[in-house]
Amino acid sequence: MKEYYEHYLSLHQNKNCRRLHVAGQLFTIFFIHIVIYLSLVSNVYFLFLLLTAPFVVYPFAWSGHFFFEKNTPAAFKNPVKAKICDWMMFFDIIRGKIKL
């Protein structure tokens, strides 16, 4: 996974692309919280929407690749590893290992 993560980071050199990834991850976290909250406080069953949570980040991330990086998102070739690396990059940014 370490080798793939290095490749993943090479696809994310542009700060604006990384910023869009962070925005997408934060929106994903917000989305999950809202879905759980709505499921707990209403009579409507919203938890099925959690199945869409892994896809919330894509409009943010892919626009970063198309407009700033000018490359193909890693999720097109290996979506599972790309998703794992997306969260790894997010936590590295939060910890200050990767600059925005």
The total number of structural domains in the chain stands at 1
In a domain? residue 100: no
In a domain? residue 30: yes
- Which segments in the chain show pLDDT lower than 70? none
Long-range contacts of 82-89 (CB under 8 A, 24+ apart): 82/8, 83/54, 84/1, 85/1, 85/4, 85/5, 85/8, 85/9, 86/8, 86/21, 86/25, 86/57, 86/61, 87/25, 88/5, 88/8, 89/5, 89/8, 89/9, 89/12, 89/18, 89/21
Q: Which domain holds residue 25?
A: 2-94
Amino acid 47: pLDDT: 84
pTM, full prediction: 0.91
In a domain? residue 49: yes
In a domain? residue 63: yes
